[in-house]
Chain A
Amino acid sequence: MTDLVSKAPTDWALPDMQRRIAKRYAAERRFKALGAFSIILSAAFLAFLLIVMIGGGWGGFQRTVAPVEFDFPALTGGVQPDALSADKAEATLTSMDLPSVVEVAAMDAFPKADEILADSAWTEVRAALLDNPELVTQKAVIDLPVASEYDAAYKGKGDKEATAAVAALDGKLNSAFNWPFLSNSDATDPVAVGIWGALKGSLMTMVITLLIAFPIGVLSALYLEEYAPKNRWTDLIEVSINNLAAVPSIIFGLLGLVVFLEWFSMPRSAAIVGGLTLALMTMPVIVIAGRNAIKSVPPSIREAALGVGASPIQVVFHHVLPLALPGIMTGTIIGMARALGETAPLLMIGMRAFISDAPAGFSDAATVLPVQIYLWSDEVNASFVEKTNAAIIVLLIVLLSMNALAIYLRNRFETRW
């Protein structure tokens, strides 16, 4: 053992000491620089993603329209508004032969109307007439969408022929916000596609997932933390849950396919099956987050409640659960956000079908946002590129809103000690 007393006092000014200090400072600076670099790098990736998506997707929210003047009395031979009332509307509209009405009306301003206007343009006239039957006695200007090649050309991304044709039209075309994109569902014509069906399908799927995964997940977490004896079986369950959370999502899709479609004969492509499948995937995440949140409730609170004679279940529901809830909700929303972005398991249960109507109920065929994005990204028509990007923007907005909700809930309900 060194005799500390007889040893010379430490000289803190020695060059060796100075070198050590300099080295320490250099290490600190290096670490800070590395940290800053990695933050900047990830921020740059994020910015790059957002810029590319918004740049590419903005066009999807814009559409090119041709203002066409309709002289309805002349074009339809004097159909009266009451012929368009609810029960007769269908027959009247069919007899009016709207596609040719559109062609005739557009002929004046747009000589090659049948080429320039989108095939589905007449459906907008039909919608306008149903919306306001009085229109049939008037002259009106209706903005009709142009075909996808001309739409691309107007946005400066078209081929030579279409660009020349658009230039020849001499500014008669306009750009307008693509409202139908938010209210339509999938279609074969990129001009007519919309995100609403997929968005609604996603929301319905999430509702099912939440209703199944949240209560089961939270109750499992409570039971495992508060009631279950600590033995080999609960250890095994804990390990299994952790493993379940790491299982690739497509395997849950296979499970859903076998269990829900094969055994229970539930409808294919339906939101309820998608929701159940995603619930299987989300549940372990909620259990893990819930157990951590429950663990972080100080034991002194449990003792305090037990000490005044609260029963175990009163301790759990009056004290532990309310204090753990912000953490549980944060974990749940993160799990839900993951489920919202999930594609693979839903492909397995048939949600990749072409579905042109928004689902009306939980057992109707539906699709979801990420699957819709996947399907559009697979399309040959170049006009789908901007629709794909636009759909990604919608998905990101939904995800960001969910995360914002998570932060809000955490701050709102968090107990300050």
Chain B
Amino acid sequence: MTEATPQPKITARPKITARNVDVFYGEKQAIKDVSIDVTMDEVVAFIGPSGCGKSTFLRTLNRMNDTIPIAKTTGTIELDGHNIYAPTMDVVQLRARVGMVFQKPNPFPKSIYDNVAYGPRIHGLASSKSDMDEIVEQSLTRAGLWTEVKDRLSESGTAMSGGQQQRLCIARAIAVDPEVILMDEPCSALDPIATAKIEELIHELRGRYAIVIVTHNMQQAARVSQRTAFFHLGTLVEEGDTKDIFTNPREQRTKDYITGRYG
């Protein structure tokens, strides 16, 4: 590790510990030697220009990259001290523990209720219908959607507005009671009002779940996160308190990016 990437500051026992992670797409190396910790009580933002690998790295954290046949990940990523790339790790359970919200809202073409209930149903988290009703209500409430949809739970999830769809996707992720939520540019397809609602939601969810958010929008990173990591060309250039990164970056490249010199 170079001088440029100092050891992450430990504020609490890390939930996720990534060490020397490399990701290859065939011959091409998309992530180079990234090490970072994610703790339970904070929101971590990944920023960087397009194609810098921040989404790729995010997707290594719940092994979504496994779905790409040519992708190969090396290094260690530990969740509560257990290597998630170990052969004994059950990927299905991992993804239930590390939930994900995607760039484009992608509700299932099913009812709002079934969207939220799907995860708990396949993992057998509800023992009865009333149990399930409770999980659905609680998840939608936490996602700030309950009052808007409580009278139309049987309507299709795809018939809602983009912002509502994205909050439904968050409710769907929350419903399986994850420990970490990964958000891959969750607001890039949304208008400013819907974006504000999602950001507010991230504030409320903080502390209950470890949250990692990838964003293009530096103001958003500044608003929602406590810690920020700047990626460039597959490397983690700089990582630290959001305040420090935005006011007093150590690296020239970080400074150039956040001042809008490129990106």
Whether A associates with B in a native complex is yes
**Stretch in A80-88, A183-191, A247-255, A302-310 with 4+ CB within 8 Å of B:** A302-310
Residues of chain B lying within 8 A (CB to CB) of residue A314: 122
B123 touches A309 (CB 8 A): yes
| A415 proximity list for chain B (CB < 8 A) | 109
Residues of chain B within 8 A of A308, CB atoms compared = 95-96, 99, 118-119, 122, 172-173, 175-176
Q: Is the CB of A300 within 8 A of B172?
A: no
Question: In the assembled complex, which residues on chain B have CB atoms less than 8 Å from the CB atom of A2?
Answer: none
Q: Give the interface size class of chain A.
A: 20 to 34
The complex places the Cα of A41 from the Cα of B165 at a distance, in Å, of: 48
Interface string of B99-128 (1 = CB under 8 A from A): 111101011110000000011001100000
A309 and B106 contacting across the interface, CB-CB below 8 Å? no
Instruction: From the candidates A306, A319, A323, name the one contacting B64 in the complex (CB within 8 A).
Output: A306
- A417–B109 contact, CB under 8 A? yes
Q: Tell me the B63-105 residues at the A interface (CB within 8 Å).
A: 64, 67, 69, 92-97, 99-102, 104
C-alpha spacing A318/B175, complex, angstroms? 18
Shortest Cβ distance from B102 into A: residue: A303
Instruction: Please provide the chain B residues from 169 to 196 with a CB less than 8 Å away from any CB of chain A in the complex.
Output: 169, 172-173, 175-176
Contact A417 B158, beta carbon cutoff 8 Å: yes
Tell me the minimal C-beta distance from A411 to chain B in angstroms. 15
Interface flag for A94 (CB, 8 Å) = no
Q: Are A309 and B108 in contact (CB under 8 A)?
A: no
**Is B62's CB within 8 Å of the partner chain A?**
yes
- Cβ-defined contact, B95 with A301, below 8 A: no
Tell me whether chain A's interface is mostly helix, strand or loop, or mixed: helix
Best-surrounded residue of A308, A311, A314, A323 (most CB of chain B within 10 A): A308
CB distance from B170 to the nearest CB of A (A): 11
Given the complex, which residues of A lie within 8 Å of B93, measured CB to CB?
309
Which residue on chain B has the smallest CB distance to residue A304? Answer: B106
Contacting pair A309 B64 (CB below 8 A): no
- Are B122 and A304 in contact, with the CB atoms below 8 A? no
B64 touches A307 (CB 8 A): yes
Q: Give Cα A417–Cα B169 distance, bound, in whole angstroms.
A: 16
Report how many A-B pairs have Cβ atoms within 8 Å. 69
Q: Tell me whether A300 and B92 are in contact (CB under 8 A).
A: no
- Return the contact of A300 from the options B69, B95, B104 (Cβ within 8 A): B104
Let me know if B64 and A303 touch, CB within 8 A. yes
Q: Which residues of A have CB within 8 Å of B100?
A: 303, 307
A229 located at the interface, meaning its Cβ lies under 8 Å from any Cβ of chain B in the complex = yes
Judge whether B109 and A305 touch: CB under 8 Å. no
A417 to B106 Cα, complex, angstroms: 11
Contact with B along A292-306 (1 / 0, CB 8 A): 000000101111111
Q: Which residues of chain B have C-beta atoms less than 8 A from A300's C-beta?
A: 102, 104, 106
Contact of A323 with B107 in the complex, beta carbons under 8 Å:
no
Residue A230, interface by CB 8 Å: yes
Q: Is the CB of A301 within 8 A of B108?
A: yes
Q: A304-B106, A415-B109 are in contact. Are A309 and B67 (CB under 8 A)?
A: no
Chain B interfacial residues counted at CB < 8 A:
29
Min CB gap A413→B, angstroms: 11
Complex: how many Å from CA A308 to CA B100? 7
Contact indicator B92/A307 (Cβ below 8 Å) = no
The answer to whether A306 and B95 have CB atoms under 8 Å apart is yes
Contacts of A416 in B (CB 8 A): 109, 158
Are A310 and B92 closer than 8 Å at their CB atoms? yes
Tell me the bound Cα distance from A410 to B64 in angstroms: 33
Nearest Cβ on chain A to B5's Cβ, whole angstroms:
29
Q: Which residue of A lies closest to B101 (CB)?
A: A307
- Residues of B near A318 (CB, < 8 A) are 118, 122
Query: How many angstroms between the C-alpha atoms of A301 and B119 in the bound complex?
Result: 14
B108: A residues at CB distance < 8 A: 301, 304-305, 319
Q: Give the nearest-CB partner of A302 in chain B.
A: B67
Q: Which residues of chain A from 310 to 365 have a CB within 8 Å of any chain B CB? A: 310-311, 314, 318-319, 323
CB-defined contacts of B99 to chain A, threshold 8 Å: 307-308
Q: Min CB distance, B83 to chain A, in Å? A: 19
What chain B residues lie within 8 Å of A298 (beta carbons)? 106
Distance in Å: Cβ of B87 to nearest Cβ of chain A: 17
Asked whether A304 lies within 8 Å of B169 as measured between CB atoms, the reply is yes
Q: A309 near B169 (CB under 8 angstroms)?
A: no
Within the complex, which residue of B69, B95, B104, B158 is in contact with A309, where a contact is CB–CB below 8 Å? B95
Q: How far is the CB of A204 from chain B (nearest CB, A)?
A: 37
Q: Which residues of B contact A304 (CB under 8 A)?
A: 102, 106-108, 169, 172
A307 touches B122 (CB 8 A): no
Say how far B133's CB is from chain A's closest CB, in angstroms: 18
Provide the residues of chain B in CB contact with A311, threshold 8 Å: 92, 122
Which A residues are in CB contact (< 8 Å) with B67?
Answer: 302-303, 306
Q: How far is the CB of A129 from chain B (nearest CB, A)?
A: 62
> Which residue of chain B lies nearest to A307 when distances are taken between CB atoms in the complex?
B100
B119-159 toward A: CB 8 Å interface, digit per residue (1/0)? 10011000000000000000000000000000000000010
Residue of A nearest to B176 (CB): A308
Give the shortest distance, in Å, between A92 (CB) and chain B (any CB).
67
Compute how far the CA of A327 lies from the CA of B15 in the bound complex, rounded to whole angstroms: 44
Question: In whole Å, how far is A376's beta carbon from the nearest beta carbon of chain B?
Answer: 50
14 contacts between A and B (CB under 8 A): A300-B102, A300-B106, A301-B106, A302-B67, A304-B106, A305-B118, A306-B67, A307-B64, A308-B95, A308-B99, A309-B96, A309-B97, A309-B123, A323-B109
9 tightest CB-CB pairs across the interface, nearest first? Answer: A309-B96, A308-B119, A300-B106, A307-B100, A309-B95, A415-B109, A304-B106, A311-B92, A309-B92
**Interface residue ranges, A against B (CB under 8 Å):** 229-230, 298, 300-311, 314, 318-319, 323, 415-417
Give B contacts to A, CB under 8 Å: 62, 64, 67, 69, 92-97, 99-102, 104, 106-109, 118-119, 122-123, 158, 169, 172-173, 175-176
**Given A300-B104, A415-B109: 14 more A-B contacts, CB < 8 Å:** A301-B106, A303-B64, A303-B102, A306-B64, A307-B64, A307-B95, A307-B100, A307-B173, A308-B119, A309-B119, A310-B118, A310-B122, A311-B92, A323-B109
